[in-house]
Every structure is written in structure tokens, then in C-alpha cells.
């Protein structure tokens, strides 16, 4: 008896409560409709606020975590410089420059961070949090092309600009390009073109290549580009094998290489994957072998200093390409290396460089456009030509949002003078060598207004 | 436990539940969680966990492979968007049916064993599906890059040509932002009603009996396997629905949705909230997704802002000691929380809530001695 009585008094209250709640819920859509009207000018308009927010979405866990950590350092440094703190870094060397060192359009820059976990789902969830909750006007980050492409298409859906960090797949500015996505980093096609003559000079025209390829968009396109280049030289492709990302143990993929009759192993791997596969290949004695009367060679088409650091001794003498290196002597690179070194005590990686530059480029485009309204900012970035940010004169091509700048062919340093002096620059390949027709990769940018 | 929910009017329970779910954008905003993407995740994983709880909570069969059905649901939905129409209704229907069929096959094999062997079998199947999606089935799943919409997809039922990529809709209502949340919430409520009916039906009772003593059940002349398979398929369909909803709010499907960590996540959610309770899994979903999305985003800058009111040295100190537990370290905090829950509240958060309720009501008893002694006795026996 007492039980049911208690129950009914409780329910009366809950009915009242839930009634109130339902009323609130039914009025709610109107708030959002109003909000939607206000936001019609564009999403996350900072309006009269004194600050503006950027989102930095990098891998903090997984096989690309080292790159992610370095990217984040670069982003923080870029924000500092934009706000007029520190020594200004590349703001002193960038030409043409509209930034004044007082934030962007007079608004102080703030930032939020997120972990992509190198997974498309997690990256999009994190990016959506930045856009919907933290109301960022731009987000950036990278290290996996699959993730970058997923975020770039989200950018188009949401109408918020995404400045790609490190992503090297041809698809990013090829078949999956978007109006709201921009890439400063070079791509696999450029790696192939840059590496070709050097490979020919060093290893000759008669070689048999075996590819191990990370099984996703970047690996696929890099394999294709390198294959095209080497087959153009007259090399034969023995076999191409796809390996899962983050495999850890590559021995089962390396053993067959020994008996395949190949004399060059091409590792289309990146980050910790490349460190593991290269180390294991060397442990298996591949480089000490003689096949077809030639020394066995290993090529890593996309190199970075962070990877060289991880692979240690094994990297010595191995050829690859890289977008930027801290040892470059131009004023922009020097200014960036100096302020990064002062802040963190070691030189930046190529991932850090591209992320830093991307942040500055976006901010500069807003300053030029005089607004954060994305279509106007996009128009400023398209076909923007600049200098003083490393890699010489650089063009942001409007047709596919790909930057064209010089690419470096590097070799693992035989006698490093310091723990960071790991890559020796073999050749700086000028951008004119690989200015390809944007039509070859297909894809469509999509509309300015979304 | 068992006869307690019966005392609460079903309709009332559903009404309250709906009200709580639909007002989430209001009462979650002080917690910083009232933005559409996270709300959608709450609702979607809520559906997933409710379904999982029908299997694990009622029959006690611990499946480690439910992410496979989630993945099947997602892939089916995205293919429906690519081939048929951007309308979500066919996508949801096909996903649920296909996930159900898939569950029937896997369940038919796995349910020949129970206990740990069942768990291992489901884990093996899920991992197999994951690896298939990741490599062998790349033409269907697009591997690591994930299945995405393209402009040149046929979409035979949609005629209108749009500039750029089309977005998912429900008869013209675009399913992004809050409308996407209300769409998922409607399915959460529907899923909850079905689960409630199952919990209180003779079928649910049989499932519970399987959990308590399957051998005895068999002796009384019941063949338990059809019931188990039904429960397995139902929970697989829930997972397929969750996968479809994920694709509806964000038309993209990746293989990582099928990974064993994703299966483990729903187990964690269910255990953290309270196995076999109606609301427990939903609480688990709330806690884990909140940690994943909000805690993981607190960086040093944000911590400094939180401890701003303290003197500088103390602020630095507080930031120093809290920093490992937020941001990249959110897994650490979640792990600690999970350990504490399992050690002290084996019944999950729901056990904690029951405990507090009991404490409160025994306080009442002290005040109005005599009148409600029977009630406390009943409550005690029921939980």
C-alpha cells in the first residue's frame, strides 16, 4: 500500500517536471532556427568578438603520433607569432605579407586541439567538436592522407576551411580535392618526378623493384607514381604488396623479397611503419646482399627527419624525397628554425614546417580579404604566389589547391655532425620540373558557397 | 530487481525517458556537451548499447564481436546512399536487415558454444570481418580510406542534380546538426521501447532464465538455442541500426568501426553503466563518449584557464598534476574510473544509484518509523 502511494506522489512530480521539459523542448527548435538565420552569413562568424579560434587536429596516438606532436608545436608557435609574441619567425621573411602581428584582423588568435587517433571517424568527430562546440573559423592538421581527405570533405559540408597538414597522397588535391581544403605539402607525383633522375644516376637503368605499400590512399598513389617513374627509366616492377597501417611486424612481408629476384626494395611507408619496416629489412641483411650482380638497395620515397631519427643507423645512405629540411639556408627557413629551436630546443620537422606555413597562409589570406567569410578567403588563397617561407617562390594553384614549390631529394647522412643532422640534401628539384596538368588526377573542387 | 520495474507504469517510463532524451540539448549545455555531433553520438551509441544489453545483460553471453554488425550497418547505409537515394529511410531499413542476416549467420555458429568460447568465437568473426573490410574487400569498402560518397554515384532514385556533394535527408529534412540528433533520438526512444517490452516479456524472462541456469532450463524441456539466437539477432540488428545512423549523420564508413576496440568499447559501456539494467548502458555511453570528446580536448591552455583563480604557483602545480589525466591522457582517467567501478560497484553506476536510493529511503524510514518498514524490506530484496 505505502509503496503505491509513494509511487504516485513521485510520479505526479515527475509528470510535472517532464511536462515542463517537453514544453522547453518544443520551443527549442525556434532558438536554432533563429541561430541558423543569424549564421546565414557564414558558419562560426566571429562577429565582434575580440578573439578568433583555430582548431588543430593532429594524431596524438597511433603510428603517426611523433609527427602529430611536432605539428602541434608548430601550430602553437604560429599562433604566438600571429599574436605578435616571440620573435615573429617567418612573419619577418614572408612576401607579400598583410599580417600585422596583432592577431588576425585585429582579433587575438586562440586555439583548440584534438586527437585524430589516425582514424577517419575519430578525426571527423574531433573536427565536428571544434566546429560545432568551439566554433573555430579554420581547422588544420594531418599526417595521414586518408584522415586528411575525410576531414577535407567534412570542411566542404560544414563550410569551414581545412588547411591540410602533412598529407602526401595525390588524391588530396586530385580526385578528392575540395573547395574548402588546401594543401601546402608536396605530393607523391612530385616525389616520383624528383626522385627519377637521381635514381637513374645512382642505380642505373636496369633494376628490378619490389614495392611494400601502406594499404590506403597515400600508399596507393605513391606506389603508382613511383612505379610510373621507375618503369619510365626502364626498371621492372617485380611485385607490389600492400601492408596494413600500423602493422608493427613486417617480417612476413620482407621474407619473400629475398627470393623474388628483386634488387631494389621500395618502402611506401611512413612514420613508425617506415621505421619498423626499414629496420627489419636491414636486420634481414637485405642491404648486404648482391642480386643480379648488383648491390641490393632500399628506397624510401617519402622521408622525414623524425623517421630518420627513429630508424637511427639504418637510414644511412638511403635515398628519398622530402618537402623541407631544417638545414635549408634561405632566410625563411632560417627564421623558422631559429624561433622553433628557441622555443623547444631542437629543429622542426617537415611536418612542423608545413603546418606552421599553412596557419600563416590562412591568417594572411583573411587579412588580405578583410573578412573571415570563407569564399572570400578561398579566393585570396587561390593562385596566391608567395616567397620567403622556405622552398623558394611558391604558388597556391587555384585549379586544385595544390602548392607548387621546390622539392628536396635527400640521402641518409653517412657522417652526421649532430643528432639532428641526419639527412643530406642531394638535389633541390625546382618546381618547374613537375608542374603537371591538374586534369590528370580528375576530381572537382565544388562550390564556394555551401 | 526483477519485479521492481513492473511497478513503474510503462507509459510513464517511456514519457520520462523521451523527455530526458529530447531535452538533452538543454540540460547538457552546462557540461559543454550540447553540440550536435556529440548528442548524435550519445543517441547512436545509446542504440548500440541498448541492443548489446539485450544479449549480454539478459542472457549473460558476452559477445566481443558486435562492432562487426555496426560496420555492416554503416557500409550498407553508405552503399544505399551511393546507389539508391540520399533518403535515409531505405538506408536504415537495408542496414538493419543485412546486419540481422549477418548476425544470424555468426550467431548460428558462435552459439554452439557458451562462456569464454563464445566470446572468442565472436571476437574471431569480428576480427575476420575487420580484416576483410580492410584489405580483401577493398572494392566494396575502400579499405583504410573509408567508403565515401562521390559526385558520379548513380543514386537511381534521386533525380535532382546538386552543386557539390548531396547531403543525407529524411524526406527533405537535412540530417545535419540538431535535426540529425532528433532523428537519432527518435530511434533511441523506439529502441528503448522495444527493449523495455523485451525486458518485461515472457521472452525476456526466458533469456534471464538462460543466464541463471541454462542446464536446468534444458531439463524442463526448453530448447534454449532458438531463444539465444533470437536475442543475438535482435542485438545485431540494433548494432546495424546504430551503424546506419552513424552513416546517416555523417555519410562515411571506415573499417575501424569493426575493429575489436570498437567491440570492446560497447562492453565497457555496458559494464560501466550496469549490466542487465535498462538505463545502465545509456549511462555508460554518456560517460565514455563524454570522456572521449570533452576530456580529450582539454589541453594545457584550457587547464590554465580553469585554475586561473588560484595564485600562480598553485595554478602551475594544479596544471602539472592534472595534465596527465586530461587531453592525451583521457584513457588513463577512463581506465581508473573503470577499475574503481568494477572494484567497488560491480553492478556499475546503476548499483551506485540504487545504493544512494536505498540510503535515502532508509533515512525516510528513520523519520517516519513504522509506516514503511515493509517497503524497505521489499526494496532490499528487490535489489
Alpha carbon distance B87, B93 (integer Å) = 11
Q: Any residues with CB less than 8 A from the CB of A132 and at least 6 apart, and which?
A: B35, B36, B37, B177
Q: Exposure string (b/e) for B330-367, b if CB count within 10 Å is 16 or more?
A: beebbeeebeebeeebebbbbbebbeeeeeeeeeebee
Alpha carbon distance A405, A391 (integer Å) = 6
For A100-105, what is the mean pLDDT? Answer: 88
Alpha carbon distance B185, B47 (integer Å) = 9
Alpha carbon distance B20, B26 (integer Å) = 10
Q: Over the stretch B60-84, which tens digit does the pLDDT of each residue have?
A: 999 999 999 999 999 999 999 999 9
Taking an 8 Å cut-off on Cβ atoms, the answer to whether A153 and B167 are in contact is no
Helix then strand then coil, in percent of chain A rounded to 5, is: 45, 20, 35
Q: Let me know if residue B179 belongs to a domain.
A: yes
Q: Let me know if residue B222 belongs to a domain.
A: yes
Alpha carbon distance B182, B22 (integer Å) = 7
Q: Over the stretch A129-157, which tens digit does the pLDDT of each residue have?
A: 999 888 999 999 887 888 898 898 889 88
Taking an 8 Å cut-off on Cβ atoms, the answer to whether B164 and A446 are in contact is yes
Taking an 8 Å cut-off on Cβ atoms, the answer to whether B143 and A215 are in contact is yes
- Tell which residue, B362, B252, B141, B285, has the closest CA to residue A127: B252
Q: Which residue of B has its CA nearest to A144?
A: B145
- How confident is the model at residue B138, as a pLDDT? 83
SS3 A142: coil
Q: Give the phi and the psi of residue B179 in degrees, each rounded to 5.
A: -65, -35
CB interface of A with B, residues 176-195, below 8 Å? 176, 179
A33 lies within 8 A of chain B by CB: no
Q: Which residue of B has its CA nearest to A113?
A: B297
- Cell readout for A371 is 573578412
Residue numbers in A near B370 (CB within 8 A): none
Work out the pLDDT band at B194, boundaries 50, 70, 90: very high
Residue numbers in A near B25 (CB within 8 A): 28
- Res. A318: pLDDT tops 60: yes
For A31-46, what is the mean pLDDT? Answer: 58
B164 lies within 8 A of chain A by CB: yes
Contact (Cβ atoms closer than 8 angstroms) between residue A420 and residue A323: no
Q: Exposure string (b/e) for A67-103, b if CB count within 10 Å is 16 or more?
A: bbbbbbbbbbbbbbbbbeeeebbbbbbbeebbbeeeb
Q: Let me know if residue B164 belongs to a domain.
A: yes
Work out the pLDDT band at A180, boundaries 50, 70, 90: very high
Contact (Cβ atoms closer than 8 angstroms) between residue A67 and residue A271: yes
Alpha carbon distance A4, A17 (integer Å) = 20
State in Å, rounded, how far the first CA of chain A is from the last one.
62
CA distance B114 to chain A (A): 32
Work out the pLDDT band at B24, boundaries 50, 70, 90: very high
Q: How many CB atoms lie within 10 A of CB B313?
A: 8
State yes or no: ipTM above 0.85. no
Helix (H) or strand (E) holding A300: strand A297-302
- Res. A38: pLDDT tops 70: no
Q: Give the phi and the psi of residue A390 in degrees, each rounded to 5.
A: 80, 160
Per-domain residue ranges of chain A = 51-186+326-405, 189-322
A222 lies within 8 A of chain B by CB: no
Best-predicted range by mean pLDDT among A204-213, A218-227, B99-108, B359-368?
A: B99-108
Work out the pLDDT band at A328, boundaries 50, 70, 90: confident
Q: Let me know if residue B348 belongs to a domain.
A: no
> B74: domain range?
4-276
SS3 A11: helix
- Res. B136: pLDDT tops 90: no
Contact (Cβ atoms closer than 8 angstroms) between residue B147 and residue B92: no
Taking an 8 Å cut-off on Cβ atoms, the answer to whether A216 and B145 are in contact is yes
Least confident of A36-50, A434-448, B133-147: A36-50
Q: Over the stretch B256-271, which tens digit does the pLDDT of each residue have?
A: 888 888 899 999 999 9
Q: Which residue of A has its CA nearest to B368?
A: A2
In terms of C-beta density within 10 A (0-12 exposed, 13-18 middle, 19 or more buried), how is residue A439 classed? exposed
Contact (Cβ atoms closer than 8 angstroms) between residue B158 and residue B166: yes
Nearest to A18 among B15, B292, B297 (CB): B15
- How confident is the model at residue B59, as a pLDDT? 93
Nearest to B328 among A29, A60, A150 (CB): A60
Q: Any residues with CB less than 8 A from the CB of B123 and at least 6 apart, and which?
A: B64, B65, B260, B263
- How confident is the model at residue B164, as a pLDDT? 65
- How confident is the model at residue A18, as a pLDDT? 55
CA distance B147 to chain A (A): 10
Q: How many CB atoms lie within 10 A of CB A167?
A: 27
Residue found by looking up cell 559494464 in the block: B271
B163 lies within 8 A of chain A by CB: yes
A415 lies within 8 A of chain B by CB: no
Taking an 8 Å cut-off on Cβ atoms, the answer to whether A216 and B144 are in contact is yes
Work out the pLDDT band at B122, boundaries 50, 70, 90: very high
pLDDT > 90 in chain B, percent: 49
pLDDT > 70 in chain A, percent: 91
CA distance A426 to chain B (A): 33
Work out the pLDDT band at A48, boundaries 50, 70, 90: confident
Work out the pLDDT band at A361, boundaries 50, 70, 90: very high
Query: CATH top-level class for A51-186+326-405?
Result: alpha beta
B299 lies within 8 A of chain A by CB: yes
B308 lies within 8 A of chain A by CB: no
- Number of independent structural domains in chain B: 1
Alpha carbon distance A111, A79 (integer Å) = 8
- Suggest the residue from A6, A26, A125, A141 to mutate for an interface test with chain B (most B CBs closer than 10 A): A125
B177 lies within 8 A of chain A by CB: yes
A450 lies within 8 A of chain B by CB: yes
Nearest to A28 among B25, B38, B151 (CB): B25
Q: How many CB atoms lie within 10 A of CB A260?
A: 15
CATH code of the domain containing B262 = 1.10.3470
Q: Let me know if residue B370 belongs to a domain.
A: no
For A71-82, what is the mean pLDDT? Answer: 93
Q: Let me know if residue B29 belongs to a domain.
A: yes
Nearest to A129 among B7, B26, B38 (CB): B38
B252 lies within 8 A of chain A by CB: yes
Work out the pLDDT band at B328, boundaries 50, 70, 90: confident
- How confident is the model at residue B157, as a pLDDT? 80
Best-predicted range by mean pLDDT among A119-123, A131-135, B241-245, B343-347?
A: B241-245
Q: Let me know if residue B258 belongs to a domain.
A: yes
The CATH code for residues A189-322 is: 3.40.50.2300
SS3 B328: helix
Question: Hey, CA dihedral for A115, A182, A364, A137, is it positive or negative?
Answer: negative
Q: Which residue of B has its CA nearest to A58?
A: B328
- Tell which residue, A350, A352, A353, A306, has the closest CA to residue A332: A353
Nearest to A25 among B22, B144, B146 (CB): B22
Which has the higher per-residue pLDDT, A2 or A377? Answer: A377
Taking an 8 Å cut-off on Cβ atoms, the answer to whether A24 and B23 are in contact is yes
- Tell which residue, A367, A354, A427, A335, has the closest CA to residue A396: A354
Nearest to B371 among A2, A28, A447 (CB): A2
For B200-225, what is the mean pLDDT? Answer: 91
What DSSP character marks residue A113? Answer: E
Q: Any residues with CB less than 8 A from the CB of A165 and at least 6 apart, and which?
A: A58, A71, A140, A141, A142, A143, A148, A185, A351, A354, A355, A358
- Cell readout for B97 is 536487415
Amino acid at each position: 500500500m505505502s509503496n503505491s502511494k509513494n509511487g504516485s506522489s513521485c510520479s505526479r512530480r515527475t509528470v510535472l517536471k517532464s511536462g515542463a521539459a517537453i514544453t522547453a523542448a518544443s520551443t527549442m527548435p525556434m532558438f536554432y532556427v533563429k541561430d541558423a538565420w543569424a549564421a546565414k552569413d557564414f558558419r562560426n562568424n566571429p562577429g565582434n568578438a575580440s578573439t578568433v579560434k583555430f582548431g588543430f587536429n593532429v594524431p596524438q596516438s597511433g603510428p603517426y603520433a611523433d609527427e602529430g606532436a611536432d605539428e602541434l608545436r608548430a601550430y602553437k608557435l604560429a599562433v604566438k607569432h600571429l599574436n605578435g609574441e616571440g620573435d615573429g619567425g617567418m612573419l619577418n621573411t614572408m612576401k607579400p605579407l598583410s599580417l600585422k602581428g596583432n592577431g588576425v584582423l585585429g582579433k587575438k588568435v586562440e586555439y583548440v586541439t584534438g586527437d585524430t587517433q589516425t582514424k577517419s571517424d575519430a578525426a571527423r568527430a574531433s573536427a565536428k567538436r571544434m566546429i560545432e562546440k568551439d566554433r573555430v573559423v579554420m581547422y588544420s592538421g594531418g599526417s595521414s592522407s586518408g584522415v586528411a581527405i575525410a576531414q577535407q570533405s567534412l570542411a566542404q559540408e560544414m563550410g569551414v576551411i581545412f588547411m591540410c597538414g602533412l598529407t602526401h597522397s595525390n588524391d588530396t588535391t586530385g580526385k578528392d580535392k575540395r573547395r574548402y581544403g588546401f594543401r601546402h605539402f608536396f605530393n607523391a607525383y612530385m616525389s616520383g618526378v624528383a626522385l627519377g633522375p637521381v635514381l637513374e644516376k645512382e642505380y642505373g637503368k636496369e633494376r628490378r623493384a619490389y614495392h611494400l605499400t601502406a594499404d590506403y590512399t597515400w600508399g596507393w598513389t605513391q606506389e603508382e607514381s613511383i612505379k610510373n617513374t621507375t618503369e619510365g627509366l626502364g626498371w621492372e616492377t617485380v611485385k607490389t604488396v600492400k601492408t596494413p597501417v600500423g602493422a608493427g611486424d613486417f617480417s612476413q612481408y620482407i621474407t619473400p623479397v629475398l627470393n623474388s629476384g628483386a634488387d631494389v626494395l621500395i618502402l611506401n611507408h611512413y612514420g613508425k611503419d617506415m621505421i619498423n619496416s626499414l629496420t627489419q629489412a636491414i636486420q634481414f641483411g637485405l642491404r648486404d646482399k648482391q642480386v643480379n650482380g648488383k648491390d641490393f638497395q632500399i628506397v624510401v620515397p617519402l622521408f622525414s627527419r623524425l623517421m630518420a631519427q627513429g630508424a637511427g643507423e639504418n637510414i644511412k645512405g638511403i635515398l628519398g624525397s622530402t618537402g623541407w629540411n631544417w638545414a635549408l639556408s634561405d632566410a625563411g627557413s632560417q627564421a623558422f628554425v631559429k624561433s622553433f629551436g628557441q622555443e623547444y630546443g631542437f629543429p622542426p620537422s617537415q611536418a612542423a614546417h608545413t603546418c606552421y606555413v599553412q596557419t600563416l597562409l590562412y591568417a594572411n589570406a583573411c587579412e588580405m580579404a578583410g573578412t573571415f567569410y570563407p569564399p572570400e578567403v578561398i579566393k585570396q588563397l587561390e593562385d596566391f604566389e608567395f616567397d620567403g617561407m622556405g622552398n623558394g617562390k611558391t604558388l597556391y594553384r587555384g585549379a586544385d589547391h595544390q602548392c607548387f614549390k621546390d622539392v628536396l631529394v635527400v640521402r641518409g647522412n653517412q657522417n652526421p655532425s649532430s643528432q639532428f643532422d641526419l639527412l643530406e640534401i642531394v638535389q633541390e628539384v625546382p618546381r618547374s620540373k613537375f608542374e603537371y596538368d591538374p586534369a590528370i588526377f580528375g576530381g572537382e573542387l565544388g562550390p564556394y558557397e555551401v | 530487481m526483477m519485479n521492481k520495474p513492473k511497478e513503474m507504469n510503462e507509459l510513464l517510463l517511456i514519457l520520462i525517458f523521451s523527455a530526458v532524451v529530447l531535452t538533452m540539448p538543454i540540460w547538457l549545455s552546462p557540461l559543454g556537451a550540447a553540440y550536435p555531433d556529440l548528442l548524435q553520438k550519445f543517441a547512436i551509441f545509446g542504440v548500440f548499447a541498448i541492443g548489446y544489453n539485450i544479449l549480454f545483460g539478459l542472457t549473460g553471453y558476452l559477445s566481443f564481436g558486435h562492432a562487426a554488425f555496426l560496420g555492416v550497418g554503416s557500409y550498407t547505409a553508405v552503399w544505399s546512399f551511393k546507389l539508391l537515394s540520399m533518403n535515409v529511410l531505405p538506408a536504415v531499413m537495408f542496414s538493419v536487415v543485412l546486419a540481422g542476416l549477418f548476425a544470424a549467420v555468426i550467431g548460428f555458429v558462435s552459439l554452439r558454444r557458451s562462456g569464454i568460447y563464445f566470446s572468442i568465437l565472436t571476437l574471431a568473426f569480428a576480427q575476420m570481418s575487420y580484416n576483410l573490410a580492410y584489405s580483401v574487400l577493398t572494392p566494396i569498402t575502400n579499405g583504410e580510406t573509408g567508403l565515401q560518397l562521390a559526385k558520379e554515384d548513380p543514386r537511381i532514385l534521386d533525380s535532382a542534380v546538386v552543386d557539390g556533394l548531396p547531403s543525407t535527408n529524411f524526406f527533405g529534412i537535412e540530417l545535419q546538426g540538431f535535426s540529425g540528433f532528433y532523428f537519432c533520438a527518435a530511434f533511441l526512444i523506439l529502441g528503448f521501447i522495444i527493449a523495455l517490452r523485451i525486458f518485461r516479456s515472457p521472452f525476456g524472462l526466458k533469456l534471464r532464465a538462460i543466464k541463471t541456469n541454462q542446464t536446468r532450463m534444458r531439463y524442463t524441456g526448453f530448447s534454449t538455442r532458438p531463444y539465444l539466437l533470437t536475442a543475438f539477432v535482435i542485438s545485431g540488428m540494433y548494432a546495424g541500426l546504430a551503424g546506419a545512423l552513424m552513416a546517416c549523420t555523417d555519410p562515411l564508413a571506415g573499417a575501424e568501426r569493426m575493429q575489436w576496440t570498437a567491440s570492446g568499447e560497447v562492453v565497457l559501456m555496458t559494464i560501466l553503466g550496469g549490466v542487465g539494467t535498462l538505463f545502465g548502458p545509456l549511462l555508460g555511453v554518456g560517460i565514455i563518449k563524454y570522456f572521449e570528446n570533452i576530456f580529450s580536448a582539454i589541453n594545457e591552455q584550457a587547464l590554465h584557464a580553469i585554475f586561473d583563480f588560484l595564485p600562480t604557483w598553485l595554478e602551475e602545480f594544479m596544471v602539472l598534476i592534472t595534465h596527465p589525466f586530461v587531453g592525451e591522457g583521457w584513457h588513463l582517467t577512463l581506465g581508473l574510473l573503470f577499475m574503481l567501478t568494477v572494484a567497488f560497484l560491480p553492478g556499475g553506476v546503476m548499483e551506485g544509484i540504487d545504493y544512494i536510493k536505498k540510503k535515502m529511503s532508509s533515512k525516510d524510514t528513520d523519520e517516519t518509523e513504522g509506516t514503511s518498514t515493509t517497503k524497505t524490506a521489499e526494496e532490499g530484496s528487490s535489489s
